[in-house]
Amino acid sequence: MKLIYIAHPLVGDGTPEWGNLERNVERYLRFCALFCHAGAAVASWVHHHMMHSRQLTQGAPPFYLVRDARLLDGCDALVVAGPPQVSSGVRFEIRHAESRSIPMWQPLKWMKSEFWPDTGESAVEKTIPHDLLEFLRSSETPVRVNTVKEGK
């Protein structure tokens, strides 16, 4: 079973689409459910951040980023599930994964559509790119090379 880290905006940029903390947490949790249905384990950062959600109006404090980096270091892959331009935290996680050669996927189609109603098996095959599904379902230890794969 692969352990993945999902990079997703929490506070966002203040826009109606990405600036709502509760909506972003709901989206993130739906991604977690989707990947659990795909057979992956998810290293979840959201619980750490939500303990102090009132302090997050200006973005994640540096100690959260350090904690996120430690979680990410133990993961087999990073999945970018939100547009990096709206979140300094997502940009930090991408840079950190690149510096550690952690395999990374950034499926662009996820960022352009509203959430699917189903997060079960039918959504797995329709939503997650085939090469990412193969990676998640393989028993091989990932080779860390510095590449970003984009979904089609």
CATH label of the domain that carries residue 48: 3.40.50
Amino acid occupying residue 95: R
Cβ-based neighbours of 41, under 8 Å, separated by 6 or more: 1, 2, 3, 4
What's the longest Cα–Cα distance across the chain? 41
* Beta bridge partners of residue 41, listed in sequence order: 3
How many domains does the structure of the chain reveal?
1
* Beta bridge partners of residue 42, listed in sequence order: 4
pTM of the model: 0.78
- Domain of residue 95, residue span: 3-149
Q: What tens digit of pLDDT does each residue of 30-79 get? A: 888 888 888 999 998 776 656 555 555 555 566 778 888 999 999 999 99
